[in-house]
Amino acid sequence: MKIAFFSTQPYDVTFFNKENKQFDFELEYFETGLEEQTVGLVTEDTDVVCVFVNDKVDAEVIQRLAEKKIKYIALRCAGFNNVDLDAAHKHNIRVCRVPAYSPEAVAEHTLAMLFTLNRKIHKAYNRVREQNFSLNGLLGTNIYKKTVGIIGTGNIGSVFCRMMKALGTEVLAYDVYPNKALEADGTVRYVELDELFTKSDIISLHCPLTPETLHIINEENIQKMKDGVMLINTSRGKLIDTHAIIQGLRNKKIGALGIDVYEQEEKVFFRDLSGTILEDERLQLLTSFPNVLVTAHQAFFTDEALTQIAFVTLDNLKQLSTTNEIVGRVAEL
């Protein structure tokens, strides 16, 4: 089986080559993302295209892939909002993903962003490097006994719920499919969104991007929040209306913002733009706020997670090609 990888980074090559020793597939790597202009890179002897979060696998791309007799689209991530599943099914191209890969990795990064923003670690680090040992402007608060609202309690969200409960916070949660185990052991109290917005000191997003969650953080919902609320998003960029969040920061409704994902990240993230002028004015503005912390979609970026992503992606394809089904994980879409 020949697999064409798009949006490839050096670490993808390292981890997939390592895990492929037990599968012996033919792997071909492209640094460019998959879109209509680059689908021509897929050769006629290719069986699979492997894509990441910012590749554009729309109906036009899938049509071209079908013409090249592609059998499978493998996502090396959990999210799949960038793939036109209806078009894939129409052309009998099977789609699989990695439904869970070290949820602790993302939850721990979320916690790191929370602590960094609250205790202003990023500012303190830069000050000390300049031999400025003043504490003025670095005042934080205790997380203990704060109210934390968590939207989405799937694999990652549930891990984060337990982390926050262990810190002595009150955890409010919202999910269309509540986790009964979290509720039963007293880790969370499920509430409606409005109550979560109005009562939470800290809000963390861990839900998928769907038509219902698109811009779930918008001007109307921001107005319901406590003054000075901390908001963290390590899930999907389009959960947040960027224009609305900038206004919330300006009027001090949002006290701190941590984002590992961004609404227009496909034009920026995973690239070294240090020698260029950033053309995204909204992102440029966000990074200028002293109470905003931006990381470039690195929450998943641990050795354990990348090993799991590579293994599960390749194992999904092995199972589909040999037994026509994937056993043991909800991976096919």
- What positions carry a catalytic annotation? 236, 265, 297
Angstrom distance (rounded) from CA 326 to CA 332:
7
Overall size of the chain counted in residues: 333
Burial of 145 (0-12, 13-18, 19+ CB in 10 A): exposed
Q: For residue 1, count CB atoms less than 10 angstroms from its CB and return exposed for 0-12, middle for 13-18, buried for 19 or more.
A: middle
Distance (Å, rounded) from C-alpha 71 to C-alpha 134? 61
HSE, side-chain direction, 13 A CA sphere, residue 306: 16
The residue type found at 176 is V
Report yes or no: 66 and 87 within 8 Å, Cβ to Cβ: no
| Tokens representing residue 273 in the block | 């733009």
**What phi and psi, each to the nearest 5 degrees, are found at residue 22?**
-95, 0
DSSP string of 3-50, one letter each residue: EEE-S--HHHHHHHHHHGGGT--EEEE-SSPPSTTTGGGS-TT--EEE
| Cα(174)–Cα(191) distance, integer angstroms | 6
Spatial distance between the Cα atoms of 91 and 51, rounded to a whole number of angstroms: 18
Neighbours of 302 (CB within 10 A): 17
Tokens at 215, concatenated: 């811009």
**What whole-number distance in Å separates Cα of residue 309 and Cα of residue 291?**
33
In the three-class reduction of DSSP (H, G, I as helix; E, B as strand; rest coil), residue 155 is classed as: helix
